[in-house]
Chains A and B, each alone.
Chain A
């Protein structure tokens, strides 16, 4: 039988749930809780949105000057200078 988790337990397991981890019973429990609890549903939905945004944003480009200095250093190493 699947036990009902409280909000704190759902939150503690949310990240693992999103990564596809966790025992089937716990996963089912989270799903049952989220259907009924608006706060946890919002947190689950918006955390999922957060992860999608983070991945899609492709943040932290290498600044061109940083890239140029890296290539200079590598050039020096490769040419034995």
Chain B
């Protein structure tokens, strides 16, 4: 293989347009080089998944390499009941989870779960209309990465699988060995935690006038809610 690809500017080639399953057929027929386009196509996805689970680049890199090597060597076991990318992602998740078992600094899942169980949003200020214009794309990306990195692995992994890689709730729960309600519960907390992290940068500035108006609106809403409840009795 040649130099690292630049995804945005890579020249189109016949292989890059080929369907995953056609490439799989060619590899199984003995054309090993047909594996290269699959690596280029999915290195980003595999890296994000392993990084989400393991939390550092060194371990994520090792798990990513092992994922592709395993996928290549066990390609005949791919049953085509799912998409190739689903099968590959499952291998990546398993590689990363196995590796995590050996990490000395890994916080036990029960502890991480307990630490996040009581999480409640603290910031109730609305956000500016267009944060991307205010901060620029690079800066937003840096903020998002920092917010996701700050999550405990059990929250980070569900957010990445569901909201970045687009796995279904069933696929994500199954791959992580969770029941769907447990996965959804973690996803809710993950999303709220990231929201909380970003809120400081994106909230509308809180002037005294704004605070007074917000408090007045809260009082009006509380009165309205009480009246509706009383009227319903």
Residues of A within 8 A of B (CB): 4, 11-12, 14-16, 18-19, 21, 36-39, 42-43, 45-47, 49-51, 53-64, 66-75, 77-79
Q: How large is the interface on B (under 10, 10 to 19, 20 to 34, 35 or more residues)?
A: 35 or more
Complex interface: chain B residues within 8 A of A18 (CB): 191
Q: 15 pairs across A/B with beta carbons < 8 Å?
A: A11-B120, A42-B125, A43-B124, A43-B195, A45-B126, A46-B126, A59-B145, A59-B164, A60-B145, A60-B164, A70-B65, A72-B1, A74-B68, A74-B69, A78-B35
- Does B100 sit at the interface, judged by CB under 8 A? no
Shortest beta-carbon distance from A21 to chain B in Å = 8
Would B218 and A38 count as touching, CB distance under 8 A? yes
Query: Which has the most chain A C-beta neighbours within 10 Å: B124, B159, B218?
Result: B124
Given contacts A15-B188, A42-B125, contact A61 B194 (CB under 8 A): no
> Nearest Cβ distance between residue B68 and chain A, in whole angstroms?
6
Q: What's the Cα separation between A15 and B162 when bound, in Å?
A: 12
Q: Which of A11, A43, A66, A75 has the most CB of B within 10 A?
A: A66
Say which residue of B4, B39, B195 sits within 8 Å of A50 (CB atoms): B195
Contact A55 B47 (CB under 8 A): no
Listed in ascending order, the chain B residues whose CB lies under 8 Å from chain A are 1-5, 32-33, 35-36, 39, 43-44, 47-48, 51, 57, 61, 64-65, 68-69, 72-73, 120-121, 124-127, 131-132, 137, 140-141, 144-145, 148, 159, 163-164, 169, 184, 187-188, 191-192, 194-195, 198-199, 202, 214, 217-218, 221, 224-225, 228-229
A64 cross-chain contacts in B, Cβ below 8 A: 4
State the CA gap A58–B145 with chains docked (Å). Answer: 9
Please tell me if the beta carbons of B141 and A59 are within 8 angstroms of each other in the complex: yes
A12 CB → nearest B CB, Å = 7
The binding surface of chain A is classed by DSSP as helix
Q: How far is the CA of A50 from the CA of B35 in the complex (A)?
A: 36
A62 touches B132 (CB 8 A): no
Known: A16-B188, A51-B191, A74-B68. 8 other contacts (CB 8 A): A11-B120, A38-B124, A39-B218, A43-B121, A43-B195, A57-B145, A62-B43, A73-B65
